């Protein structure tokens, strides 16, 4: 398949992207979180093609993107009161909410679930494409399934060239990790995936929110997965990655003691690089969880480009946006954790 490369800054590019989607095609589009692979959420054939293009397992549902509160009535059966509060506070923005789906959303989109994930993105290019197509857009991350999510146009080209109808360049993504996901399918709202909107912020807005066990821990065989995406291996570079927990001093000492291992790289904070005797890839300042989120996926891809074989990643903290960074990194490490004390 020929893939059309578009530049959102050029006249007519957004309209071209919307036209392709209206005809049932697939377009990778920028959002503030990561790039999404967008198709008409009402079209079962187009949505099935998203799964094919990404190599995504059929039981991992898609997030549906809207560009106004009016649009939501075609997507969900009803909006719970607490979801209305969160929409008021965090939309447009990096928050996805799970609610009972409407009959218009085909089962392929929701992966046979009675619920659907909905988000109203703040990125102006994403908003314009949804608006011009006049449709809610199903859009999972625009990467090949299993690889780190794409935060630049170049990442999308690397993964999806020849597999989708078009990719539109809207520059690098400012948030850098996928949206926070909260489910209203149960009595108490549940945080299924941490993101830029933090657990602390959600609780401040609506009170009790429970934390799905899969956010920070590996689920045992047979444990119920509330968010199907959480059970798959994710974000992994080709190297074997271990997540190292401990202070900066402990981390630097540990990595330097292993410096002669073949193909070793430290995935570290900016402040640590000068003290390390190995190759390093930095993923932001120790003191900025927002910067760590913005840089993480690019850093994971850079490790592949540099031929890393063995990676020791310094663990971020697990509060605030750090919870989102930790959630992605522990999966990139396949839950292999080294605790220093």
User: 116 or 175: whose CB is closer to ligand AMP?
Assistant: 116
Total interface residues for ligand AMP by CB under 6 A: 20
Does 228 engage in binding with ligand AMP (CB under 6 A)? Answer: yes
Query: Alpha-carbon distance 75 to 288, whole Å?
Result: 36
Residue 113 DSSP symbol = -
- Alpha carbon of residue 236 to chain centroid: 13
Judge if the upstream peptide bond of residue 92 is cis by omega within 30 degrees of 0.
yes
- Tell me which of Mg ion, ligand AMP, none is bound by residue 115, counting a contact when its beta carbon lies within the kind-specific cut-off of 5 to 8 angstroms: ligand AMP
| Strands (DSSP E) found in 147-218 | 166-169, 180-183, 190-193, 210-211
Span near Mg ion by CB under 5 A; candidates 13-21, 135-143, 194-202, 285-293: 135-143
Inter-residue contact 180 to 193 (CB < 8 Å):
yes
Angle at which helices 322-332 and 289-305 cross, to 10°: 20
Element (H, E) at 63: strand 63-65
Subset of 182-221 contacting ligand AMP (CB under 6 A): 183, 192-193
Nearer to Mg ion, 272 or 298 (CB): 298
Q: Where are the alpha helices (DSSP H) in the chain?
A: 13-22, 44-54, 81-90, 124-133, 153-160, 199-206, 248-257, 289-305, 322-332
Which residue among 6, 130, 181, 332 contacts ligand AMP (CB under 6 A)? Answer: 181
Q: Which of residues 36-75 bind ligand AMP (CB under 6 A)?
A: 60-61, 63
Smallest separation, CB 144 to ligand AMP (Å): 11
Nearest in space to 6 (alpha carbons), one of 161, 173, 170, 172: 170
Residue 140 binds to ligand AMP (criterion: CB under 6 A):
yes
Tell me the closest approach of the beta carbon of residue 246 to ligand AMP, in angstroms.
Answer: 30
- Closest-by-Cβ residue to ligand AMP is 229
Distance CA 19, CA 288 (A): 40
- Candidates 4, 5, 85, 113: give the one binding ligand AMP (CB under 6 A): 113
Pick the closer one to ligand AMP by CB: 210 or 256.
210
Nearest Cα residue to 152 out of 170, 135, 125: 170
Q: Tell me which of 40, 152, 227, 292 binds ligand AMP, using CB under 6 A.
A: 227
Would you count residue 229 as binding ligand AMP (CB under 6 A)? yes
**Residue 141 is a binding residue for Mg ion (CB under 5 A):** yes
Secondary structure class of 203 (helix, strand, coil) = helix
Nearest distance, CB of residue 80 and ligand AMP, angstroms = 14
Q: Which is nearer to ligand AMP, 314 or 328 (CB)?
A: 328
Q: Residues of 196-215 as b/e, b for ≥16 C-beta within 10 angstroms?
A: bbbbebbeeebeebeebebb
The item of Mg ion, ligand AMP, none sharing an interface with residue 110, based on CB under 5 to 8 Å by kind, is ligand AMP
Binding positions for ligand AMP, rule: CB under 6 A: 60-61, 63, 98, 110, 113, 115-117, 140-141, 178, 181, 183, 192-193, 227-230
Q: Which stretches of the chain bind Mg ion, using CB under 5 A?
A: 141
């Amino acid at each position: 398949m020929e893939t059309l490369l578009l530049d959102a800054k050029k006249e007519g590019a957004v309209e071209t992207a919307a036209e392709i989607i209206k005809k049932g095609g697939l377009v990778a589009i920028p959002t503030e979180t990561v790039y999404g692979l967008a198709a008409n959420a009402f079209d079962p054939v187009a949505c099935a093609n998203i799964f094919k293009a990404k190599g995504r397992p059929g039981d991992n549902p898609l997030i549906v993107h809207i560009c106004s509160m009016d649009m939501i009535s075609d997507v969900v059966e009803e909006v719970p009161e607490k979801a209305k509060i969160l929409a008021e506070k965090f939309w447009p923005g990096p928050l996805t909410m799970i609610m009972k789906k409407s009959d218009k959303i085909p089962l392929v989109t929701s992966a046979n679930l009675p619920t659907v994930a909905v988000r109203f993105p703040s990125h102006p290019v994403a908003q314009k494409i949804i608006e011009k197509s006049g449709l809610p857009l199903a859009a999972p991350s625009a990467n090949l399934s299993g690889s780190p999510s794409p935060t630049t146009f170049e990442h999308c080209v690397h993964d999806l060239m020849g597999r989708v109808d078009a990719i539109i360049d809207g520059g690098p993504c400012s948030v850098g990790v996928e949206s926070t996901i909260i489910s209203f399918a149960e009595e108490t709202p549940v945080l299924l995936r941490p993101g830029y909107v933090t657990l602390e912020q959600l609780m401040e807005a609506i009170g009790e929110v429970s934390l799905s066990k899969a956010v920070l821990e590996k689920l045992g065989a047979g444990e119920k997965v509330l968010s199907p995406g959480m059970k798959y291996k994710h974000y992994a570079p080709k190297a074997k990655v271990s997540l190292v927990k401990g202070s900066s001093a402990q981390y630097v000492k540990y990595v330097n003691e292993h410096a002669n291992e073949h193909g070793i790289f430290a995935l570290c904070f900016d402040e640590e690089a000068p003290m390390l005797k190995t190759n390093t890839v930095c993923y932001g300042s120790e003191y900025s969880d927002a910067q760590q989120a913005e840089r993480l996926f690019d850093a994971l891809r850079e490790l592949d480009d540099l031929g890393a074989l063995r990676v020791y990643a310094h663990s971020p903290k697990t509060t605030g946006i750090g919870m989102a960074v930790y959630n992605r990194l522990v999966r990139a490490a396949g839950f292999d954790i080294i605790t220093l004390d």
